[in-house]
Structure 1
Amino acid sequence: MIRHASIERAALCDTFLEVGPDAPTLCGDWTSGDLLAHLLVREGRPDASAGIYVPALAGRAEKAMARLRAEHDHEALVERLRQGPPAWHPTRVAAVDEKVNLVEFFVHHEDVLRAGLGAPRRSLSAEHIAALGDQLAVMGRMLFRRTRGVRVELVTAKRHTRIGSGDGPVVQIHGRPGEILLFGFGRRDVAEVELIGPPEAVETVRTTDYGL
């Protein structure tokens, strides 16, 4: 079994080393160092990572991130991320790792690449693209659940996935799986997708605040 999440983890770590800790990202005002600390807290500090998902506890995660950055240099933190989660963590299991980390690492890798490097888009293997497509098929309904009055159809080279039901107009989102995932995670300004449908419905999809 090819572990695409592990491949993406390694590639992200290489990029973190290339750009250093102060590069911009697509995650608001976070730098690359902040994003790196976020990923380490997410998979290594269950006592603090609840703050990533529960706004009332956000201060706990932020304090853990700040402490990591204060106590360790950038290269050491990159190496910690590269080595993977603690031995007790569920994502040590390959199948769990693919479901939990592949999209997380892919999206955040693009957050760094597309914010500052100005480099050509990555050329992913067909297997990697297919793995992202599998995750899109699972996550699509959750990502695009906020669409109102419009039915969304996700269209890749291999799949058509309809989101929503009823009699509303249909807007197709065409693109590679990774690009549609970026759009669904709120990176609409950089996602390379094409929206096809009635103009008003397309505008609804284009301006909806998507994400988990």
Structure 2
Amino acid sequence: MTSSPAAAERALLCDLFIEVGPDAPTLAGDWTTRDLAAHLVVRERRPDAGPGIVTNVLADYSEGVRRAEAERPYEEIVERVRNGPPRWSPMRVPAVDRLTNTIEFFVHHEDVRRGGTAWSPRQLAPELEQTLSSLIGPAGKLLTRTSPVGVVVAPDGHPATTLHKGEPTVAVGGPLGECVLFLYGRTAAAQVEFEGPADAIAAMRAVTFGI
């Protein structure tokens, strides 16, 4: 894999996987680090399990594939994540890697960083910040499609973007990485601020954003 923000987040996440071990908690529901690492392997190496990862269609099948992957030795699973997708995968194309893996590995890196009790926000590398900024609009529009109110994301130091049209409207602000985490459903851990009518904020927060 060539050097890129996605590759950097992948490497940092794999280092952290080894540091915390297979049974550490994450922000990805009740998944441990072993579960999350297995998910990342299946996502890249088992296209037959893809539909069940992003929708309820074939979800049981995909979960079975993930559980089978999780039976491997933990260090082997992490190494498979570190090595990236196989040669035949479109994810090896730099442009596809950027679109599909930058946010994926950033969010899951934070899932592990923040899974315990001792963590603090980190300063993002400029290249990562730039890439997240370019992706948050298209991704956010998909993620907020079920919002009952309008949603605008206004990350610190970046232009505001309307993600979902509607009235009233809520603006989500804060550091860019925190806004990304909020939009990807890490609502309890994301350090963001809201502007808008109180009832609209409550209505938006009652919805779990995600694909």
The TM-score bracket by the shorter chain reads over 0.9
Return the offset for 1:8. Answer: 0.7
Q: Please say which of residues 18-27 and 175-184 is displaced more in the overlay.
A: 175-184
| Contact persistence 2:152–2:172 (CA under 8 A) | yes
**Equivalent residue number for residue 130 of structure 1:** 130
C-alpha contact (below 8 Å) 1:143/1:185 kept by paired residues: yes
Q: Is the 8 A contact 1:129 1:176 kept in 2?
A: no
Name the residue aligned to 2:175. Answer: 176
Match of 2:196 in 1: 197
Distance 2:45 2:176 in 1: 28
Q: Deviations over 1:58-117 (max 9, x none)?
A: 2222222222222x2111111111111000000111111010011111111111111115
Q: Show CA shifts across 1:26-66 (max 9, x none).
A: 12211110010011001101122332123241222222222
Distance between the aligned counterparts of 1:155 and 1:73, measured in 2? 43
2:208 equivalent in structure 1 = 209
| TM-score of the two chains, using structure 2 as the length reference | 0.93
Are 2:44 and 2:85, in contact at CA under 8 Å, matched by a contact in 1? yes
- Kindly tell me: are residues 94 and 195 of structure 1, through their superposed partners in 2, closer, same or farther at Cα, counting changes over 3 Å? same
Instruction: Give, in angstroms, the shift of residue 209 of structure 1.
Output: 1.7
How many residues in Structure 1 have an aligned counterpart in Structure 2? 209
Instruction: Note the aligned Cα RMSD (angstroms).
Output: 1.6
Correspondence list, 1:17-32, <5 A: 17-32=18-33
Cα separation, 2, equivalents of 1:32 and 1:2: 24
> What stretches of structure 1 of length at least 5 have no aligned partner?
none
Name 1:53's counterpart in structure 2: 54
**Partners of 1:133 and 1:178 within 8 A in 2:** no
Q: Which has the higher helix share?
A: 1
Range with bigger deviation, 47-56 or 25-34: 47-56
Structure 2: 5+ residue runs without aligned partners? none
Letter in 2 for 1:86: P
Aligned twin of 1:155: 154
Judge conservation of contact 2:51–2:57 (CA < 8 Å) in 1. Answer: no
Supply the distance in 2 between the matched residues of 1:184 and 1:211 (Cα, whole angstroms). 7
Alpha-carbon distance in structure 2 between the residues aligned to 1:61 and 1:172: 36
